[in-house]
């Protein structure tokens, strides 16, 4: 009896994984580049009141956040659903949420570069890249991304909360 239950669970797992294939999602790459642009600008040109450089987080937190960010982005880029065709569904509410998250994230960086460093700006910078990636994965029905994204989101928010606590 136990063996039969185990066989059903194994078959269900294989059935779930069979919905995915290795490929490349160019739209996911575009989203990642769009989310990376403010960080590149920040690495090159530091604003006056740059609390993100002044307050250092524990190194292990940074390392694990970078690792899970890389795993999340890799999963978005190279794991695609078999029935997913080239273009994302622009009529999906997840597309709207992805666009809104990107716009709010970039707006937070604009406020940050203008010298507005407050709780809301820092929280937006921590939350919205994760929501953009999550909404994009949901739009593409790439459920395999959700595990590393959940860990990355927790680490990214922990780092941002650490910065906020140190600031206030």
Residue 140, classed as helix, strand or coil, is coil
pLDDT of residue 9: 55
Residue 97, classed as helix, strand or coil, is helix
pLDDT of residue 153: 95
The two three-digit tokens of residue 7, written as one number: 């066989």
Residues in the chain: 168
CA-closest candidate to residue 70, choices 154, 145, 158? 145
Beta strand residue intervals within 23-162, DSSP E = 79-81
Cβ atoms within 10 Å of 112's Cβ, excluding its own: 22
The DSSP secondary structure of 92-123, one letter per residue, reads SHHHHHHHHHHHHHHHHHHHHHTT--SHHHHH
CA-closest candidate to residue 72, choices 149, 10, 154? 149
pLDDT of residue 89: 72
Its pTM surpasses 0.75: yes
pLDDT of residue 58: 78
**Distance (Å, rounded) from C-alpha 80 to C-alpha 141?**
8
pLDDT of residue 28: 86
Q: Given phi > 0 = left and psi -120 to 50 = alpha, else beta, which region is 55?
A: beta
Kindly give the confidence (pLDDT) of every residue in the chain, 168 residues in length, as a single tens digit, with 9 standing for 90 and above: 666 665 555 554 556 667 667 788 888 899 999 999 999 999 998 888 888 876 666 788 888 988 999 999 999 888 887 666 666 677 889 999 999 999 999 999 999 999 998 999 999 999 999 999 999 998 888 888 899 999 999 999 998 888 888 888
Domain coordinates in residue numbering, the chain: 21-39+55-167
pLDDT of residue 167: 83
**Distance (Å, rounded) from C-alpha 139 to C-alpha 92?**
7
């Amino acid at each position: 009896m136990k063996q039969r239950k185990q066989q059903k669970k194994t078959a269900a797992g294989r059935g779930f994984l069979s919905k995915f294939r290795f490929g490349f999602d160019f739209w996911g790459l575009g989203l990642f580049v769009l989310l990376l642009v403010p960080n590149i600008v920040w690495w090159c040109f530091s604003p006056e009141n740059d609390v993100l450089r002044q307050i250092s987080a524990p190194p292990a937190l940074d390392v694990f956040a970078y690792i899970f960010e890389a795993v999340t982005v890799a999963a978005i880029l190279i794991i695609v659903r078999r029935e997913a065709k080239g273009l994302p569904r622009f009529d999906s509410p997840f597309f709207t949420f992805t666009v809104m998250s990107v716009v709010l994230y970039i707006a937070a960086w604009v406020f940050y570069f203008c010298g507005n460093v407050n709780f809301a700006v820092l929280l937006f910078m921590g939350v919205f890249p994760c929501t953009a990636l999550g909404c994009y994965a949901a739009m593409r029905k790439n459920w395999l991304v959700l595990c590393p994204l959940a860990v990355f989101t927790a680490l990214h928010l922990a780092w941002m909360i650490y910065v906020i606590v140190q600031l206030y």
